[in-house]
Structure formats: structure tokens, C-alpha cells
Amino acid sequence: MTMTPYLPGAGDAVAYPSGTLSVDKSVTLGAVPYDFHMPETTLFENLEISARRFPGKTAIQFYGNAISYSSLLDEVERLAGYLQHVCGVGQGDRVVLFSQNSPQFIAAYFAILRADAVVVPANAMLLEDELRHIVTDSGAVAAFAASELLGQIAPLIGTTPLRQVIVHHYGDALTDSDLAGGGLAIPDWARQRAGESVLPSGTVQWLKAVAEAHQPAPHRSTPDDLCMLPYTSGTTGAPKACMHTHRTVMASVAGSQLWRRSHAESSFLAVAPMFHLLGLQNGINGPVYVGGTIVLLPRWDRRTAAELISRHRVTFWAAPPPMLVEFFAQPGIESFDLSSLSCVVGGGAAIPEGTARLMKERYGLTFVEGYGLTETASFIIANPLAAPRNGHLGVRTYGVDARVIDPATLEEVPVGEVGEIAVHGAQVMLGYWNKPEANAESFIVIDGKRFFRTGDLASVDADGYFVMRDRLKRMVNASGYKVWPAEVEAILHTHPAILESCVIAARDPHRGETVKAVIVLRPDAAAIDEDALLAWCRGNMATYKAPRIVQIVERLPRSATGKIAWRELQEQEMQGEPLPNLKA
């Protein structure tokens, strides 16, 4: 086995030729074939093909409003034309998508791709400064934004490369009868319509952009063109973008749908955030690829989720375990008809034994765990539906070579021993956008193949099933959201009273883990307590990043080289031991 450092280069766009990808035939796949033929279409062409095959079929079910494939495609064409003719978006330009789950999110996503541009999905919880980094780093020239988020993005027009923002109101995707109720609880923020609201300079109403009906130029993108720059945080602080092509995303989309036996009659509950790869792949790309129906829920509501599953005969649901725990624990769950559900998948953590038992005994459902990252377009290791193992990440999927290596020597470790997961596959990103140092650290070549170092520690058994053991990198996994401590610490250090901080994970019965900040105050700082610091955090960073627990200490432990010994604090927290040097 030979290994060399790896730096992505221009040739990576054709690193994975078209053809057939196979999976280890020793794995029990049931009715799923072992070989998988990679499609030679772009992500937009998936929509175009499904709209031709099923023009009148419901593509999106949104609180009672059934949007057909033909209607969706027509809106996408109009918006793509507006991007090109009015916003001046050219091939390869980056366009930000800043919204909660909605029909407009889906239409905007495909409109960007139809215009041969690159989607930059932004977490809807980001604040202005966090969003400024993404817009500036990506060089985005245009954006789609939901009306309630306009305050975060409007100040960036003209002060960054951003020139124009198309603004949508969720309620404009609902009819009057939908708003009347129909037995579903529609939150007030989802009911808002454009009306006569006045927008700031550099913005335009979605409905106006659609009404102008500009025709886009012919679709020119190829499978190897860049299509997406999703941002993922890193141990060095600022988030960095993963460079994905239509081919890398398609490898994950098409492979996962075959693996999970989805088809045109499948109905997908889309509630995981679409700005995150779990929601984007399983709530948009997968359903559209097979011509299925997206049953859309903008924000988590366990009772409405049960209503939608029952009413629309949902068959597939991708969800993080905390969501499933809350769903199946809700009062009156037994009164809903959930018999249509046939496949429930997710990742980020194992599902609690009690919830797994209830799902199996009452509904005949098995939570099928998988493993993926933003860098791998989500789907890369997964449990086979025919032979899932609780508490296991799964096995290598189509065309994937996943190994467990020693993080220091980079040599593959024996079966059963713990090491870092390194993955090679058609869905692995080209590299990080404008981050040559991060690429040099993250990629290696083993036996002539390019591998991505995940930073996750696992073991693999004799049957090829991977089991997560630990994390090599510092990371908090709060309800499926990855929070990188260095980024939170950088924001904390802007507070005038904070001398230094260390962010760690704390156990949380609902979120799995939550963010905890251990803080040392400046000697001359004005009196301030944990509650005041928590309030400041909520006002200065996205909700999912903001610490839920703050603990003030006299000093932080350090290593022999003077670095903060974060691992020592983390281990004490997880073992329930009191942290040292607490203030009286």
C-alpha cells in the first residue's frame, strides 16, 4: 500500500468517469442490485425529465397546495431567465439561497442550476456577519431570500459582490383555501404574503420576477461543471465551502435512491432543513430524480408531521434521531395511520433503544442509519435495508472505498481496531473552495486513489460494517447540526468581558449534544453572569451554534505547550466530573 499527499487540481473534474459502480457482493442487499450505472444528466435535467414523464403529477405538496411537475418547471424557467437577463448571472456565477423549507426554496434551487450557475445554500439561522463571510468568500452576485431573512442579507448588497436579491414570501405558495386551514396548523410566518410591502434598493419581489417571464438561454452545464458550494465549518474557525459538481452530487442522489428502493410512487416527507445536505439530498434531489412527491413541512412540528404522513401516505422519511424520538413520544401518536411508512433513514447518532423498539414493535419500522458528510454529498456509507445493524454506520455503498487508517502513520489498521475513516468515491467533493491548506490536510492518495480524511474515528468489523467510536476533530453534533468550537470561540472572544474560552459538547436528552462554553473573564471586566452571557450569545450567532450552557471558571487547563487542554475538559464533562477552578 502506497500513500502520498494530495492536492486537488484542475483535472479533478473528470477524476470519476462515467460507467458502472459496484458494491461488495459479500454484503446482503436483498432485492437491490450490486451494480449501479451512473446517470449522465445534470441535476436540473432530472427535473426536466420528470416533468416530461409526469407533467400533471404532484411534485410538491405544501399545506394542501399540490404543485405539479409542469408548474414547477415553468416557474424554474422564468426565474432562470430573470437571473440571466436581469441579474446578469452567467455560467459558473454563484447565487446564494437563504430560506427555510418552502416551494420557493425548491424552485430557486433548480432555477440557479437551470441558469448554469452555482448554488450556495446558506443556513437560515445565520446572522448578518456570518452571512457576509459566505457571500464574500463565494463571490456570490445574486441571491434568493425569504422575506423574514431580508434584514440579514440586504446590508450586503453593494458592500460585497452581491448585486441583487429576489425576495419570496412563503404564503404566496398557498391558495386562499389552503390558508383557511384544511385541518393543518400553518404557522403565522408561513402565511405571510408579499402584499404591497416596500423593498429596499437592490431587491425585487419573487412574483414580479416570475411575472416578467424571461426565457433563459439553453442549458449548457455538463456533469463535471461545478453546481454547488455548501459551507461546512472547520476547526480553524471560518466556514469553508465544499466544491461539488453535478456528477459528485448525482453519484450520491442516484445511488441512494437505488439503495433505498425509491421510485416514482414514493412520497417523501421533507422536514430536515434543505440548506443542509440531509434535507437537500433526501427532500429535493432524490424525490425529483425518481419523479416522486415531496410532502413539505417548513419547520419541525411533530403533530403536523404525523398529519402529513397519514394524509399523503408518506413512504420515505429522512430524519435525525432526536426528531424521531420526539415524534414517536408525542401524545396521541397511536391515533395516526403511519402504515404507509416503509423507510426511515438518518444519521449523526444511533437511535435510543426505546424508540427503536417502539418503531419496530408497533409499526414494523427499522431506523436505517447511514453516514455521510457535506464533503461527500451525504450518502457514502449506509446500512442495507435488507440487513441493517442498530448502532452501526453501515457498509460501503456503490463505488466507495472506505478504510480505517491510523491518523498518525496513515496505514490501514486491522479489522476491529479504531482509526480514522478515509473515503474514496464518486461523490467526494473536488476540494475546499479557495482553501489549498485545508485541501493539503484533508486529502491523501492510497494505492493510487484519492481519499478524503473525514476526521471521524471508527472501527470496521469482519463483515464490513463500520461503527463510530470518537472524533478526531473537535465538533459538537447538536440535533444533526455540526458546530465547530473554534468558530464559536472566535465569536465569544469579541465580547469585552471574555478573556478566553473553551467550547465543548455537553450531553442533552433532546439534542443528543449541546454547546457548552467554559469561560474565563477579564480581571477588569464589569460584573456579568452566565445568564447575561447566554443572552449575548443568542444575539450574536446562529441559534444552533449559540452555547446553551455557560460556565465561568478562574482559569482553563493547559497542555505542556501552553495550549488549552480542550480534550481534558471534554472528557470531564462527558464523565460528569466537576470542571476545575470554578468561580465561587
Q: What is the mean pLDDT of residues 506-525?
A: 88
Q: What per-residue confidence (pLDDT) applies to 1? A: 47
Contact 165, 120 (CB under 8 A): no
Same domain for 495 and 529? Answer: yes
CATH number of the structural domain spanning residue 519: 3.30.300.30
Q: What is the pLDDT of residue 235?
A: 46
Give the chain's domain count. Answer: 3
Assigned C-alpha cell, 428: 467526494
Residue corresponding to grid cell 433526501: 282
* 298 shares its domain with 432: no
Instruction: Give a yes or no: residue 581 inside a domain.
Output: no
Same-domain status, 333 and 205: yes
Question: Residue 306: CB partners within 8 Å, gap ≥ 6?
Answer: 327, 330, 333, 336, 338
In the numeric block, which cell numbers belong to residue 476? 459538537
218: burial class by Cβ within 10 Å (0-12, 13-18, 19+)?
Answer: exposed
Mean pLDDT, the chain, rounded, equals 91
**Residue 570 banded pLDDT, cuts 50, 70, 90:** confident
Provide the greatest CA pair distance for the chain.
Answer: 69
Q: Does residue 105 sit within a domain?
A: yes
Fill in the amino acid letter for 547: P
Residues 457 and 482 reside in one and the same domain: no
Same domain, 255 and 362: yes
Residue 26 sits in the same domain as residue 82: no
Q: Identify whether residues 219 and 281 lie together within a single domain.
A: yes
Count of H helices and E strands in the chain?
18, 31
C-alpha cell at 207: 412574483
Which of 413, 447, 471 is where one domain is finished? 471
pLDDT band at 391 (very low <50, low <70, confident <90, very high): confident
| 512 belongs to a structural domain | yes
What percent of the chain has pLDDT above 70? 93
Point out the domain boundary residue: 471, 502, 533.
Answer: 471
DSSP state for residue 553 in the 8-state scheme: B
Last residue of a domain, one of 374, 408, 428: 374
In-domain check, residue 584:
no
pLDDT at 355 over 90: no
Domain shared by 464 and 565, yes or no? no
Neighbours of 248 (CB within 10 A): 29
Q: Residue 384, Cβ neighbours under 10 Å: how many?
A: 20
Q: Is residue 64 part of a domain?
A: yes
Domain co-membership, 232 together with 362: yes
| CATH code of the domain containing 334 | 3.40.50.12780
Sign of the alpha-carbon dihedral angle for 370, 372, 377, 381: negative
pLDDT in tens, 124-143: 999 999 999 999 999 999 99
Residues 144 and 259 in one domain: yes
In a domain? residue 386? no
Q: How do residues 9-66 score in pLDDT, each as one tens digit?
A: 433 433 555 689 999 999 999 999 999 999 999 999 999 999 999 999 999 999 999 9
Q: Which pLDDT value is given to residue 566?
A: 84
pLDDT digits (tens, 9 = 90+) for 436-471: 999 999 999 999 999 999 999 899 999 999 998 877
Grid cell in block for residue 511: 439534542
pLDDT in tens, 139-155: 999 999 999 999 999 99
**Residue 18: predicted pLDDT:** 66
Return the pLDDT at 477.
Answer: 83
Average pLDDT over residues 71-87: 98
Cβ neighbors of 356 (< 8 A, separation 6 or more) are 366, 367, 390
> 270 in a domain, yes or no?
yes
Say how many C-beta atoms besides its own lie within 10 A of residue 214's C-beta. 16
Is the predicted pLDDT of residue 560 greater than 80, yes or no? no
| pLDDT tens readout for residues 249-283 | 999 999 999 999 999 999 999 999 999 999 999 99
Where in the sequence is the domain holding 79, given as residue range(s)?
43-374
How remote is the C-alpha of 285 from its chain's centroid?
A: 13
CATH number at residue 416: 2.30.38.10
> Within this chain, do residues 87 and 116 fall inside the same structural domain, yes or no?
yes
Binned at pLDDT 50, 70 and 90, residue 505 comes out as very high
pLDDT for res 8: 45
Q: Is residue 430 part of a domain?
A: yes
CA distances from 58 to 54, 73, 266, 352 (A): 8, 12, 11, 35
At residue 522 the predicted structure's pLDDT band, cuts being 50, 70 and 90, is: confident
Q: Is the domain of 310 the same as that of 364?
A: yes
Residue 521 — φ and ψ, nearest 5°? -90, 155
